[in-house]
Amino acid sequence: MKNLSLKDVFLALSISFFPLLFIGCGQRQNYRSLQGSVWHTTYNIIYNSPVDLRDSVIAVMKQVEMSLSPFNDSSLISRVNRGECVVADSLVRRIFLASQDVNVNSAGRFDPTVAPLINLWGFGYRNSGVEPTQEMIDSVMSTVGISECSIDSAGCIIRKTPQTEFNFSAITKGYGCDLVGEMFRRNGCSDFMVEIGGEIAMGGKNSRGDDWHIMVDAPIENDTTVVHSRMAVMAVTDCGVATSGNYRNFKQTSTGRVWHTISTADGRPAHTDLLSATVIAPSAMLADAYATACMAMLADSAVAMLSRVNGVEALLVTMATSDSTYNIRTTPGFPEIQK
Residue 118 forms part of a structural domain: no
Residue 255 forms part of a structural domain: yes
Q: What is the pLDDT of residue 272?
A: 81
Residue 334 forms part of a structural domain: yes
Residue 297 forms part of a structural domain: yes
Residue 262 forms part of a structural domain: yes
Pairing status of strand 274-281 against strand 31-38:
unpaired
Q: What is the pLDDT of residue 124?
A: 61
Q: What is the pLDDT of residue 8?
A: 27
Residue 276 forms part of a structural domain: yes
Residue 105 forms part of a structural domain: no
Q: What are the per-10-residue average pLDDT scores of the chain (339 residues)?
A: 27 32 52 93 95 98 96 94 93 97 96 85 64 81 94 94 93 97 98 95 95 79 49 90 71 51 75 89 97 93 95 90 76 85
φ/ψ region of 51 (left if φ > 0, alpha if ψ in -120 to 50, else beta) reads beta
How many structural domains comprise the chain? 1
Residue 242 forms part of a structural domain: yes
Q: What is the pLDDT of residue 327?
A: 86
Q: Domain residues for 280?
A: 6-29+200-338
CATH number where 246 lies: 3.10.520.10
Instruction: Give this prediction's pTM.
Output: 0.84
Q: What is the pLDDT of residue 325?
A: 73
